[in-house]
Amino acid sequence: MNVYMRELACALAKYNVKVDIFTRWTNETAPQVVQLNPQVRVIHIKAGPVAPIHKNDLYQYLPIFTRNIDEFRCREAGQYDLIHSHYWLSGVAGMRLARLWDISHVTTFHTLARLKQLAHPNEPEPPLRLEMEQRLIQHVDRIIAPTVDERTELIRFCGATTSQVDVIPCGVDLDLFVPRDQQQARKLLYLDPQQPVLLFAGRLDPFKGPDLLLRAAAMMEEEAQIVIVGGKLSGDKDVKGLQTLAKELKISQRVHFLGARPRQEMPLIYSAAHVTVVPSYHESFGLAAVESLACGTPVVATRAGGLMTVIQHGETGYLVPRCAGFFAERLDTLLHTPDLYAHMSAAARDSVRRFSWSSVARQVHDVYDAIIDEAECLVAQ
């Protein structure tokens, strides 16, 4: 989500849009205002301790967060034409500020609790989040959904109106995410150049399914290396849990934990892999899948959510039911069929050119224009 906001803001700047990104101040050494480019600022707002806080504890600080945003605006004598909020917590803040400033409000949920719960009923979402997301849907002027499927789900399950939801995909930096030489990439990452590599990249949340990749790898005919990018290399309970599982499955000697890596390193890591595996219960879009395809690496993923829009089944990867056996079978098929693998690799990058940030920003800019025009027409009446 942070990548999305930064990249979208900088791409919108090319359309002469000025963007202020308000976020909670979490680091005492960070300046209050960071200028990303002449048109884009990140503004840190005090709300609670100037330190990281678990997302489940943030709601209590929303009133002071919104109040301090308004005070910052008043000090600068600034005026905004529109609010674009991201995630439900920011959406609640945006809802209050939109009412206070009498301007339109666009939101992008990125993940919706109701849809997560439908995908994984055994993991209930916080009632407060469910309630606030429902309230947001009732009050915002427009919702940007990354896929047609999410638009349909917003209307069918969450009560959004047909005119309220626009479909605009997330983007990928096609200048950064480019194919690298696979053997050279493996050498730099100290991976066996002769043994296939399966990659998982993302949060090590059980919802994302890194454990399913380990279970699938243990069932495969091919003894592939497994690279897991995410989490911390020390004191991380999710990493420890996966390490324990790898030992139980007797595959720990070929599982490599790299921890969370800087974004600039990810093209090298995607290029080192034969296949990127995305075994989530649900993905609104599937940014890791898009980045992987941009680097020429096929993807095997759960047949769910935005992944069905990103991956062309049988052409750039496979979409399978969320079951270790299905993943194992498709991964073995790819690794044992060189011609098929070469075809998918060759098709991968072209399949995601439509997700360039320039294209995404143009579509978002059009939505902003339409909403502002609608608001002006209402005032004129």
- Tell me how far CA of residue 233 lies from CA of 166, 226, 239, 256, 260, in angstroms: 40, 16, 7, 11, 8
Same domain? For 317 and 361 the reply is no
Cβ atoms of 22 and 101 within 8 Å: the answer is no
Assign residue 340 the CATH number of its domain. Answer: 3.40.50.2000
In a domain, 249, yes or no: yes
Same domain? For 215 and 333 the reply is yes
pLDDT digits (tens, 9 = 90+) for 336-349: 999 999 999 999 99
Same domain? For 302 and 199 the reply is yes
Same domain? For 146 and 211 the reply is no
Same domain? For 219 and 189 the reply is yes
pLDDT digits (tens, 9 = 90+) for 213-234: 999 999 999 999 999 999 998 8
Closest to 168 in 3D by CA, of 351, 356, 376, 381: 356
Structural tokens at position 309: 């829009």
Buried b (16+ CB within 10 A) or exposed e, 254-265: bbbbbeeeeeee
Same domain? For 164 and 145 the reply is yes
- Band of pLDDT at residue 53, cut at 50, 70 and 90: very high
Same domain? For 346 and 364 the reply is no
In a domain, 177, yes or no: no
pLDDT digits (tens, 9 = 90+) for 25-43: 999 999 999 999 999 999 9
In a domain, 27, yes or no: yes
Same domain? For 248 and 301 the reply is yes
| Gyration radius from the chain CA atoms | 22
In a domain, 213, yes or no: yes
Show the domain range for 13: 2-171+357-380
Instruction: Give me the number of domains the chain comprises.
Output: 2
In a domain, 176, yes or no: no
In a domain, 319, yes or no: yes
Structural tokens at position 283: 């993905």
Same domain? For 266 and 233 the reply is yes
pLDDT at 111 over 90: no
- Band of pLDDT at residue 118, cut at 50, 70 and 90: confident
In a domain, 91, yes or no: yes
285/80: higher pLDDT:
80
pLDDT digits (tens, 9 = 90+) for 60-77: 999 999 999 999 999 987
Same domain? For 187 and 167 the reply is no
Same domain? For 150 and 269 the reply is no
**Could you give the CA distance from residue 12 to residue 166 in angstroms, rounded to a whole number?**
17
The CB density around residue 186, as the number of other CB atoms within 10 Å, is: 21
- Band of pLDDT at residue 381, cut at 50, 70 and 90: low
pLDDT digits (tens, 9 = 90+) for 149-200: 889 989 998 899 999 999 999 999 999 999 999 999 999 999 999 999 999 9
In a domain, 155, yes or no: yes
**Could you give the CA distance from residue 251 to residue 218 in angstroms, rounded to a whole number?**
7
Same domain? For 213 and 145 the reply is no
